[in-house]
A and B are shown apart, each in its own frame.
Chain A
Amino acid sequence: MESQIELIYEDIKGKHNVKLVQFVGDLDATNVETVSEKICNLLNEGYVNIIADFKKLRYVNSTGLGTLLHFSKTAKEKNGSFKIANINENVYEIIEIIGATSLLEIYDELEEAIKALD
């Protein structure tokens, strides 16, 4: 019984190497491998800029956070980026406590994250 998480993908008009990914649910030790595989597949398919919409991401733990840092590193290695938007207060606090806010690209709004691609 894994924690429920769903990834919903969207394209962004005019941006050929960008994928918008909505995270819906909880990101934890039970589903981190599945999520990692899906995001890494996107990066390997040429979507080197990922915008993660965390509006519906309720929960993340330290293992999930480690994976987010891995996405960021992998995207940078491919001359892309892993940007996070719409993060909720509780999830942000966990990232902040770990001291990883400076290691991730975090935006308040989705539009800001998209604009930062230009």
Chain B
Amino acid sequence: MEVNIIQIPDKPHAIIFQFSGEMDSDKIGMINDTFSQINSNINYVIVNVKSVQMISSSVIGELMGYRKQMIEKGGDLVIAGIDFSIRTKLNLIGLTKIFRIFSDPRSALNAYRWEIERHAEKIHVSFPSHLKIVPPVRQLISRIAKQKGYGNRDSFRLETIVDEICNNAVEHGMSGSELSIKLNMEIDPEKVELDVTNTSDPEKMASLKALLKPKNNNDIKLDERRGRGLALIKMLTDELSVDCSGTGTSVHIKKVREE
């Protein structure tokens, strides 16, 4: 058995142990030596077993002990380099209940950034200013939120927020295939922030001002078919600001995760 220790330049609290060969019980001493070398501030160990032929139960037990230590330091010990086909077998023997398993170290590092560092992910979407493009965009944002662990309710609310902001951006801005709407999303485990910017249309400034005029929700009338979007956005978000000072109107929202 061999082990290669890989430091990660911008991740002082994470390390990768790349094992190869057979991790059987007589290698426990070597595994312990490897762990004894790591700095005390390390709290996230990625055990890459891509080149490992077998792991004995005693080694698994040893790794469980180190995992406990990492969890106590606010981190984790995870296993990487296991193909999906093998993962189903590991699932059968219950290993996936003990360790988090990733297909490669990069995925394990992404999980570290997201879960331990609570690092925000940034997504930029640019799309033509047409109403028909809005549904796939809103569904994309909703799917990203779900993929990041947000619940159905939060994801649905985000979908609604994106839909309403983007529909307003199309309706009250310049429209056309060449004119794009820019959506920037920043998502972390606690909140989502969105910025949507269109290209202002001078001829639609009056309708935009009317839209932004404060309205009371009790003013709702049965015969009004439009004009509820902004009120809905306000009620679904924790922060909302609109800036019409530039060449485009920018809407910024913050939505705190609820579930």
Q: What residues make up the interface of A, taking CB atoms closer than 8 Å to B? A: 1-3, 26, 28-30, 59, 61-63, 65-67, 69-70, 72-73, 89-90, 93-94, 97-100, 103
Check if A67 sits within 8 Å of B218, measured CB to CB.
Answer: no
Check if A94 sits within 8 Å of B226, measured CB to CB.
Answer: no
> Chain B: how many interface residues by the 8 Å CB criterion?
29
Report B241 CB to chain A, min CB distance, Å.
20
Check if A62 sits within 8 Å of B135, measured CB to CB.
Answer: no
Check if B228 sits within 8 Å of A66, measured CB to CB.
Answer: yes
Q: Which residues of B contact A65 (CB under 8 A)?
A: 228
Check if B222 sits within 8 Å of A28, measured CB to CB.
Answer: no
Distance between Cα atoms of A93 and B12 in the complex (Å): 45
The verdict on B101 contacting chain A, using a C-beta distance below 8 Å, is no
Check if A97 sits within 8 Å of B134, measured CB to CB.
Answer: no
Check if B163 sits within 8 Å of A28, measured CB to CB.
Answer: yes
Q: Which residues of B contact A28 (CB under 8 A)?
A: 134-135, 163
The verdict on B38 contacting chain A, using a C-beta distance below 8 Å, is no
Report A106 CB to chain B, min CB distance, Å.
15
Check if A103 sits within 8 Å of B222, measured CB to CB.
Answer: yes
Per-position 1/0 for B129-141, Cβ under 8 A of A? 0011111100000
Q: Which residues of A contact B164 (CB under 8 A)?
A: 61-62
Q: Which residues of B contact A98 (CB under 8 A)?
A: 217, 220, 228, 231-232
Q: Which residues of B contact A29 (CB under 8 A)?
A: 131, 134, 163, 167
DSSP class of A's interface residues: helix, strand, loop or mixed? helix
Question: Please, which residue of chain B has its CB at the minimum distance from the CB of A96?
Answer: B235
Question: Please, which residue of chain A has its CB at the minimum distance from the CB of B219?
Answer: A99
Report A88 CB to chain B, min CB distance, Å.
10
Partner of B229, one of A2, A59, A62, A72: A62
Check if B135 sits within 8 Å of A30, measured CB to CB.
Answer: yes
The verdict on B156 contacting chain A, using a C-beta distance below 8 Å, is yes
Distance between Cα atoms of A90 and B135 in the complex (Å): 17
Question: Please, which residue of chain B has its CB at the minimum distance from the CB of A73?
Answer: B222
The verdict on B193 contacting chain A, using a C-beta distance below 8 Å, is no
- Other A-B pairs, 19, CB within 8 Å; known A65-B228, A66-B224: A1-B132, A1-B135, A2-B135, A26-B135, A28-B134, A28-B135, A28-B163, A30-B132, A59-B159, A61-B232, A62-B232, A63-B226, A70-B225, A90-B152, A94-B232, A97-B232, A97-B235, A98-B220, A100-B220
Q: Which residues of A contact B136 (CB under 8 A)?
A: 1
Within 8 A of A (CB), among B208-258: 217-218, 220, 222-229, 231-232, 235-236
